[in-house]
Structure 1
């Protein structure tokens, strides 16, 4: 066709992407590497949502992303507890996978309890993983204590909540995607 070129800007679909933090464990991360994707969907993740922005009015994007990352790290604690309840041997290290996903696979919840929680309707390809955040092995003792304290913390025990919060005193280490195989060894 003569004169055919790119569609005018008004007709081009511009795909928007969102940084999502996905809670995981080291065995779950190993499955991502083996399968080439994080799934199956639906997946629960954490991101900078409108509710989070409204709640944390004074924060910049970096601060808001840190809040979402922290929420994902808390969810990783629960995954560790669930794996152990199922008899899976898993290292006491929180794992959060940071990924770039298209907006159209992300739905945002309306609950105030978890302002950063999102739901993904599609698996996340390994190629869309931007980085992995993992506890340093020196955090293991506090992470172990936090996992053990979760049931009491959920029942409202303030001392147990303090113990769970103690895991958050450890900053998660940042790993580039090319470092994942070394991390899993």
Structure 2
């Protein structure tokens, strides 16, 4: 099963060093039965894009958490795409996020298929989105619009062998 795991560049550096993304349990996003039912007219590619977008939104929260912990992190969303056995994926984790899943073990480097990362040109909108998260969570429509603005940027695709260059 293809899963999309939210990440940040500092966390991706730890993945590269440890040769796995973990520890479990991990929150990810995938094409779940609930997502298929909700988005009935979409094909597999469209559904995977929804899951990728949900993971990118979660990456914003991880970026905010890193910064709150004093970690220097570039304003770029990061999503790790992995092919994992169905047996380690538990669906039905979130009602508001129909694509949310939980992985019961770490993801090995061999299971990582690609990494999706914002182009550096998206930094301004990602920075604004991170700053707007608290107000957006409190119901501020303007802040939600700002958070959604980060989604106007398509994530770039990187092969696994490019991870060391991304985290330098």
TM-score grouping bracket, smaller chain normalisation: over 0.9
Q: 1:136-165: per-residue Cα shift (whole Å, max 9, x none)?
A: 000000000000000000000000000000
Relative contact order, CA 8 A, sep 6+: which one is greater? 2
Q: Of 85, 88, 107, which aligns to 2:90? A: 107
How far the C-alpha of 1:112 sits from its partner, in A, is 2.4
- Residue 24 of structure 2 contacts residue 103 of structure 2 at CA under 8 Å; is this kept in 1? yes
Are the structure 2 counterparts of residues 163 and 59 from structure 1 closer, same or farther at C-alpha, using a change threshold of 3 Å?
same
For residues 46 and 10 of structure 2, the distance between their equivalents in structure 1, rounded to whole angstroms, comes to: 29
Match of 2:135 in 1: 152
1:53 partnered with 2:36: yes
Q: Secondary structure at the match of 2:82?
A: strand
TM-score, normalised relative to structure 2 = 0.99
1:180 partnered with 2:163: yes
The two structures, once aligned, show a CA RMSD in angstroms of: 0.7
Match of 1:169 in 2: 152
Q: Choose between structure 1 and 2: higher helix proportion.
A: 2
For residues 171 and 25 of structure 1, the distance between their equivalents in structure 2, rounded to whole angstroms, comes to: 16
How far the C-alpha of 1:132 sits from its partner, in A, is 0.1
For residues 143 and 67 of structure 1, the distance between their equivalents in structure 2, rounded to whole angstroms, comes to: 19
Gaps of 5+ in 1: 1-17
1:23 partnered with 2:2: no
Are the structure 2 counterparts of residues 90 and 111 from structure 1 closer, same or farther at C-alpha, using a change threshold of 3 Å?
closer
Q: 1:70-106: per-residue Cα shift (whole Å, max 9, x none)?
A: 0000000000000111111100000000000111110
Structure of greater Rg: 1
1:92 partnered with 2:85: no
Match of 1:35 in 2: 18
Matches within 5 A, 1:112-151: 112-151=95-134
- Residue 93 of structure 2 contacts residue 101 of structure 2 at CA under 8 Å; is this kept in 1? no
How far the C-alpha of 1:110 sits from its partner, in A, is 5.2
